[in-house]
């Protein structure tokens, strides 16, 4: 090969190497791009009871009807210890937490979700790497059964409100949902804890929302914890004029959470998925970044 040809070949090789490095760098950057910081809890309905172990502890029948997810033992007398001794239908078996919300009716007929529901654990703050695991035994109520439509619309926990088909951002039930669609609601919980109390007199004051502009926790509630987001789906469509919650109109939507996770399991999911900037399923696996692995084993349990 002539000197000129060798020089051209060398130049081409350098060009190809440069292109390869550029593509590789771009691929790595795209792969590590953080668009989510979350994992899911997938839990199904267990029962419907007029109980509320947070608002009316020890008083069976004192509340409006609630639909319970996850822990089979949840009732008016539930405590953290009783929940941990119970069984759950959540996909992650060491999530013994209790989740509940006002039951939904169409006329006099109860309309429960008929498949596993999605409860997201996300970062509510900008610096998702600083989110900490929930303390053992924490509990709180999100939203209010006495809220007005405007309060529901402007609440920091309202994400999409009620939706079905192409109708979204409804602050009460849509008047009509196309046949075959389902009624969905999304609502975010506060994600800043005061660092002291596991509950409070109103079951809310120990928690706060981050500042909307800065996504930073207020100084009164400096500890960032996972932001829970309920995404519930109800199999109801058509004329919605008779649809109601046990607590009233759609804007009275609210829900309750009692933490009974196995501590190390929850910590592993928070560290791997929320702090790690991943979009995880209940096993702590991000299908878009398979090389990052999973937080839990194939049995959805923390390897011991």
| CA pseudo-torsion sign 195, 199, 205, 209 | positive
Indicate whether 65 pLDDT > 50. Answer: yes
Digit-coded pLDDT (tens) for 161-208: 999 999 999 999 999 999 999 999 999 999 999 999 999 999 999 999
- In this prediction, residue 31 has a pLDDT band, given cuts at 50, 70 and 90, of low
Digit-coded pLDDT (tens) for 72-125: 999 999 999 999 999 999 999 999 999 999 999 999 999 999 899 999 999 999
| Burial class (CB within 10 angstroms; exposed 0-12, middle 13-18, buried 19+) of 21 | exposed
Query: In whole angstroms, how far apart are CA 132 and each of 104, 124, 143, 159, 225?
Result: 33, 11, 23, 23, 5
What are the two backbone dihedrals, phi and then psi, of residue 137, each rounded to the nearest 5 degrees?
A: 85, 0
What residue spans of the chain are helical by DSSP H? 3-31, 80-85, 149-154, 263-269
- In this prediction, residue 23 has a pLDDT band, given cuts at 50, 70 and 90, of very low
Q: Under 8 Å CB-to-CB from 285, ≥6 apart: which residues?
A: 293, 294, 295
Nearest Cα to Cα of residue 250 among 140, 167, 166: 167
Indicate whether 2 pLDDT > 60. Answer: no
Mapped onto helix, strand or coil, the DSSP state of residue 129 is helix
Strand partners, 269: none
pTM for the whole structure: 0.88
DSSP string across 246-278 = TTBSGGG-EEEEE--B-HHHHHHHIIIIITTT-
With a pLDDT cut of 90, the percent of the chain lying above it is 85
Q: Choose between 5 and 261: higher pLDDT.
A: 261
Mapped onto helix, strand or coil, the DSSP state of residue 20 is helix
| Burial class (CB within 10 angstroms; exposed 0-12, middle 13-18, buried 19+) of 23 | exposed
What is the spatial distance between Cα 104 and Cα 122, in angstroms, rounded to a whole number? 26
For 264-296, letters b (16+ CB in 10 Å) and e give ebbbbbbbbbbbbbbbbbbbbbbeebeebebbb
Whose structure tokens read 């130049």?
Answer: 11
Mapped onto helix, strand or coil, the DSSP state of residue 190 is coil
Indicate whether 16 pLDDT > 80. Answer: no
Digit-coded pLDDT (tens) for 119-128: 999 999 999 9
What is the spatial distance between Cα 36 and Cα 302, in angstroms, rounded to a whole number? 22
């Amino acid at each position: 090969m002539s000197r000129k040809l060798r020089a051209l070949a060398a130049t081409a090789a350098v060009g190809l190497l440069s292109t390869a490095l550029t593509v590789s760098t771009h691929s790595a950057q795209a792969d590590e791009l953080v668009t989510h910081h979350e994992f899911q809890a997938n839990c199904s309905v267990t029962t419907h009871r007029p109980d509320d172990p947070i608002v009316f502890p020890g008083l069976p029948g004192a509340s409006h009807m609630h639909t319970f997810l996850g822990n089979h033992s949840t009732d008016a007398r539930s405590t953290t210890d009783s929940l941990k001794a119970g069984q759950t239908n959540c996909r992650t078996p060491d999530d013994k937490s209790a989740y509940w919300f006002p039951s939904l009716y169409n006329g006099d007929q109860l309309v429960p979700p008929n498949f596993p529901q999605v409860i997201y654990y996300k970062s509510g703050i900008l610096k998702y790497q600083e989110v900490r695991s929930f303390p053992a035994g924490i509990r709180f109520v999100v939203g209010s059964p006495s809220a007005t439509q405007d309060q529901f619309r402007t609440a920091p926990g309202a994400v999409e409100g009620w939706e079905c088909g192409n109708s979204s951002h409804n602050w009460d039930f849509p008047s009509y949902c196309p046949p075959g669609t389902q009624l969905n609601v999304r609502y975010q919980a506060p994600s800043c804890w005061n660092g002291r109390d596991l509950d409070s007199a109103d079951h809310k004051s120990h928690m706060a929302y981050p500042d909307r502009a800065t996504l930073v926790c207020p100084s009164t509630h400096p500890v960032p914890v996972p932001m829970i987001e309920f995404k519930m789906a109800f199999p109801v469509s058509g004329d919605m004029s008779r649809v109601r919650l046990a607590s009233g109109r759609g804007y009275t939507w609210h829900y309750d959470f009692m933490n009974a996770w196995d501590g190390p399991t929850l910590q592993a999911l928070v560290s791997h998925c929320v702090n790690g900037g991943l979009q995880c399923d209940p096993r702590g696996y991000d299908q878009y970044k398979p090389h990052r692995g999973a937080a839990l084993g194939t049995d959805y349990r923390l390897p011991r």
